[in-house]
């Protein structure tokens, strides 16, 4: 009997959110409408992400949401009015058989992302009881990989982290809780509305952790709080691939990305 495992590897679909509109400066300089179209070191930004995902043996179909060309995609889906609309459209497209599938969702603005980073993240998301996986990257990993690149960080008991731009989620969770997710997403920039959703005690702990005492808030508390809010079983996934959390939003970051990618080629 062979010692090799002949069982087929479970694969999952991927959704790339590429509906973001380019800011006026970017649109004028490159004559583009969508941020995902910006050329970086001679290649459209979306293609860096798409090619890295396509090379993963964990991924089967790839759906791109946006008014953009990508001939190799399984399907191009017209974008909606918001990021949430695009997320739901993408998840619906790859779950047309009504099955509760695990879906990988990525933004289109992480041109540094590698297949190795994608494979590592997926390999850490194997618990069948989790609805939503969210990668968190330690600050030291980001600053080592991309010194000088600005990121937003949160101080927690386990360390200082930034969030990733690739998530894994159950399609059933997204489609059943779309209204609730929209409510949370809409409140993300309002301290008072967020306090109403997550509860004042947790909100105060978060503020204290950022300003005075990092150990006032830990990952487990955040997982439970977010899970309660969005009616899901949530898991934060620490990962040391800074590429997953290094997005390109403006012209300065485009120039930075070009310098990094040209030096790597």
pTM: 0.87
Whether residue 16 is predicted with pLDDT greater than 80 in this model: the reply is yes
pLDDT of residue 39: 96
Q: What does the alpha-carbon distance between residue 131 and residue 234 come to, in Å, rounded to a whole number?
A: 6
The DSSP symbol for 229 reads H
Band (3; pLDDT cuts 50, 70, 90)? very low
Cβ contacts of 256 within 8 Å, gap of 6 or more = 146, 148, 149, 248
Question: What confidence tens digit (pLDDT) does each residue in 86-130 have?
Answer: 999 999 998 765 568 899 999 999 999 999 999 999 999 999 999
Token pair 């991927």 is at which residue? 14
Query: Can you read off the two tokens belonging to residue 205?
Result: 């702990």
Facing residues of 166 across strands? 106
pLDDT of residue 192: 47
pLDDT of residue 33: 92
CATH (residue range 12-264): 3.90.550.10
Query: Can you read off the two tokens belonging to residue 119?
Result: 């494979």
pLDDT of residue 6: 46
Question: What confidence tens digit (pLDDT) does each residue in 162-211 have?
Answer: 888 999 999 988 888 887 777 766 654 454 454 555 555 555 555 556 66
């Amino acid at each position: 009997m062979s010692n090799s495992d002949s069982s087929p590897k479970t694969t999952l679909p991927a959704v790339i959110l590429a509906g973001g509109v380019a800011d006026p400066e970017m649109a004028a300089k490159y004559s583009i409408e969508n941020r995902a179209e910006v050329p970086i070191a001679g290649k459209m930004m979306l293609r860096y992400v798409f090619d890295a995902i396509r090379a993963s043996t964990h991924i089967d179909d790839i759906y791109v949401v946006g008014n953009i060309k990508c001939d190799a995609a399984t399907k191009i889906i017209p974008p909606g009015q918001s990021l949430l609309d695009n997320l739901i459209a993408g998840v619906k497209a790859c779950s047309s058989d009504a099955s509760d599938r695990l879906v990988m969702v990525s933004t289109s603005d992480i041109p540094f992302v590698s297949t190795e980073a994608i494979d590592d993240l997926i390999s850490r998301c194997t618990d069948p009881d989790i609805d939503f996986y969210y990668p968190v990257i330690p600050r030291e990993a980001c600053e080592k990989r991309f010194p000088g690149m600005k990121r937003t960080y949160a101080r927690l008991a386990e360390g200082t982290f930034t969030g990733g731009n690739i998530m894994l989620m159950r399609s059933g969770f997204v489609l059943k809780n779309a209204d609730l997710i929209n409510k949370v997403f809409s409140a993300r920039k309002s301290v008072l509305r967020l306090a109403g959703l997550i509860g004042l005690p947790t909100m105060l702990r978060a503020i204290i952790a950022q300003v005075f005492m990092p150990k006032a808030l830990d990952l487990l508390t955040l997982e439970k709080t977010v899970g309660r809010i969005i009616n899901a079983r949530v898991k934060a996934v620490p990962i040391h691939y800074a590429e997953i959390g290094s997005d390109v939003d403006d012209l300065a970051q485009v120039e930075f990305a070009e310098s990094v990618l040209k030096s790597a080629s």
